Copies of this chain bind each other. A is one copy, B any other.
Amino acid sequence: SKTYRIAAIPGDGIGPEVLEIGMEVLTAAVNTLSAGRLQFDLFPWGSEYYLQHGRMMPENALEILKAYDAIYLGAIGDPRVPDHLSLEMLLDLRKGFDQYVNLRPVKLLPGVESPVRLKPGETVDFVVVRENTEGEYSRLGGRFKVGTADEVAVQTSIFTRKGTERVMRYAFDLARRRAEERAREGVEVKEGGGTAGGPRPMVTNCTKSNALNYSMVFWDEVYAAVAAEYPDVHRDQALVDALAMWLVRRPAYYDVIVSSNLFGDILTDLAAAIQGGMGIAAGGNINPERTYPSMFEPIHGSAPRYKGQNRANPIAAIWAGSMMLEHLGETAAARLVMKAVEDVLAEGRYRTSDLGGTSSTTEVGEAIKKTIRKKGDALIR
């Protein structure tokens, strides 16, 4: 069986605590299924490293990480380090490894209450495919007459055809895979589009071409061109403002949403609220061609106030880990992890405080590991 080499970057604040649990849970899953071996190499980079060395990562960090099958990240950010530095570390990894898809599954897990009222029988199960290397995050621009009454600040977004096309294509392929899986698993869906809305795959184009008359007009054209290659996939379009509204009013409608870097940033945090909060939401920074390692992370921050208190919800990190197993091809182990998470949440006994419970990080982790072993044994037998 295969050995997967994973670079673990625990990072700051609650990052190490939740990543630790994540590593244990993933290991339990692959061991139970005898599905390959996970070798985690720890890299103590981030804010502590910065305070000692004046940088967040060593200069040859990308070279070191390049050899790994995947990167598993905790959280980055510390009050003693300027925010833009810690965040640059994240952006450097995303851009350096051409992780052009930011993948955010948005699913209401059993037993988790959404702050948003759902119609009876409806649930939330969609994915945001966020462009992750260009667009509004180009960091181009400047300031003129700085500090004067006449000052002007300029910020420029750049969208390339290659960069736009490839993320669109990823979204359409994903929509197809999801529909196939729904069909295979006999998921019951109603007519009308979307996961909960219809059996057909659907890609919603998040746009704002009425105001952003170059970038988003171009974006829409690329969407239309790629959509033409996928006649079986239902087209859907929404202005980002309207989409923010509809995600609250009818999240069950959506299947796959494709968005620019900035719009995706906003929508995925909103979506995290809708799926029950930051303690649950996970993301993958994917290089689909596998030229470089992809990176998986809980999308919550480092929450320095909770550091070392054994209170943080480890589920976001665990979910990110499950996405990593899936990416590595260990689908059975990935599913076993999520089934165990779902069972523990549904049972309701072990929950951290963000979900209204009183359990510690480690208690939730233990419960999930125990469930994995039980379920795994049953599967094998």
Contact = CB atoms under 8 A, between A and B. Distances in A.
Interface of A: 83-84, 87, 91, 115-117, 136-137, 139, 141-143, 148-162, 208-219, 240-242, 244-246, 248-249, 262, 265-270, 272-274, 277-278
Question: Which of A149, A240, A245 is packed against the most chain B CB atoms within 10 Å?
Answer: A245
A267 B117 CA distance: 19
20 contacts: A91-B211, A141-B156, A141-B215, A149-B162, A150-B160, A150-B161, A153-B214, A153-B218, A154-B157, A154-B158, A155-B212, A155-B214, A156-B156, A212-B262, A241-B269, A241-B270, A244-B244, A244-B270, A245-B273, A249-B277
A161 B148 contact: yes
A266 B249 contact: no
Nearest to A240: B266
A142 B214 contact: yes
B157 A152 contact: no
Given A149-B161, A152-B159, A153-B158, A241 B215 contact: no
A155 B215 contact: yes
Contacts of A215: 141, 153-155
Given A143-B214, A245-B278, A154 B152 contact: no
B116 A213 contact: no
Contact of A273 (B91, B210, B248): B248
B156 A152 contact: no
